[in-house]
Amino acid sequence: MPHHFLCLEGDGIGPEIMAATRQVLAAAAPLMTREPILEDGVIGLAALSAHGTTIPDDVIAAARAADGVILGPVSHNDYPPVAEGGLNPSGVLRKALDLHANIRPARSHDGLPHPIEPPLDLVVMRENLEGFYADRNMFDGNGEFSPVDGVALSVRRITRQASRNIAATAFEWAARRPARHVTAIHKANVMRMSDGLFLDSVRAVAAEYPGVSYDEMLVDAAAAMLVRDPGRFDVIVTTNMFGDILSDLASELSGSLGLAGSLNVGTRHVAAQAQHGSAPDIAGKDIANPTSLILSSAMLLAHLGEAEAASAIDAAVTAALASPETRTADVGGTLGCAAFAAYLCDLLGTGSGSA
């Protein structure tokens, strides 16, 4: 039985980096136990123009039916209001597929300059379905609203079940890593009730993993510590907004946000997603770096049990990034998006690949 993947290009550089990712997956296909079948769906500005919404219902249905989704970046800031079809496809899919965990590794690469020492090797576990994110924290309606002119309010929802879910994912990952350590990031000194509930939930899960060490840190201190002493972190678990911000910081400190993989995981569904934005200013110029989406797709393969193919893709990316001659211009290299993908395919041993 094959793997069925739904590929959603998104906006801006999305089509270019998706094409590169498809080529690499095709090149890695001989290493997989099941044939990958890649199907396409239209989201974003193209879907808005054709269907009046940035994520049609048939795309959501196809995502539910797929073994995995590969999601390109979207230009959400350029969309019209929700009432006019401008939904955030990323938020919609996370909610529709119940993708409670956003897993974001940050790892420095040999040969590639990075701003700090020692090199980073950590994972941010970001809760995905609630917090201050207005498009996914209410059963019905929006969690951000304006009751009167000049006043804007945002509701932050934190639940015990969602907090336990992300904590369990964090401890499961930590138990497989050498350091076997989890740090919960919070602001319970100010948001005592909501972050207090989050911490209580994480502590309960921590008690179930005696082989994994555990500590806690305020989010402002964690931001400072990521710069000063990143080696003290292994797996970070935190709420949605804190996780979004800290994961971008960690990825940039490891070398570049463009090198950061990202996987959205639920009980039944999974979606690989580029961690960066759609970069419309460089779209169509063949200078985009496809590494984030490629590594995210490797994480997807690993999640589905295709460890050999995932490891081979990861090793090919590491080898390509080691030399300026074989990496993209944004990280001091010379290759364009298509040429970088072709080089990865050559390292995988099957030529330029297609899918």
Based on the residue annotation, tell me whether 78 is a catalytic residue of this protein.
no
Based on the residue annotation, tell me whether 133 is a catalytic residue of this protein.
yes
CB 190 within 8 A of CB 213: no
CB 27 within 8 A of CB 60: no
Q: Which two tokens stand for residue 85?
A: 């079809």
Catalytic residue among 79, 133, 209, 214: 133
Angle made by CA atoms 137, 142, 145, in degrees to the nearest 5: 120
Based on the residue annotation, tell me whether 187 is a catalytic residue of this protein.
yes
Pinpoint the alpha helices (H) of the chain: 14-28, 44-51, 57-65, 89-96, 160-174, 192-206, 219-228, 240-253, 291-303, 307-321, 337-348
Catalytic residue among 78, 98, 135, 248: 248
Q: Which residues of 17-39 are buried (b: 16+ CB within 10 A; e: fewer)?
A: bbbbbbbbbbbbbebbeeebebe
Catalytic residue among 215, 220, 229, 285: 220
Catalytic residue among 98, 187, 286, 346: 187
Distance of alpha carbon 101 from alpha carbon 94, whole angstroms? 9
Catalytic residue among 195, 244, 314, 343: 244
CA distances from 23 to 34, 36, 212, 321 (A): 17, 12, 39, 18
Based on the residue annotation, tell me whether 220 is a catalytic residue of this protein.
yes
CA distances from 341 to 20, 37, 294 (A): 5, 19, 9
| Rg of the chain on CA atoms, in Å | 20
Expressed in angstroms, the distance from the first to the final Cα of the chain is 18
What 8-state DSSP symbol labels residue 2?
P
Pinpoint the alpha helices (H) of 128-177: 160-174
Q: Which residues pair with 272 in a beta bridge?
A: 70, 263
Based on the residue annotation, tell me whether 40 is a catalytic residue of this protein.
no
Cis omega before residue 36 (within 30°)? no
Distance of alpha carbon 228 from alpha carbon 251, whole angstroms? 15
CA atoms within 13 A on the CB side of 30: 8
Catalytic residues: 133, 187, 220, 244, 248
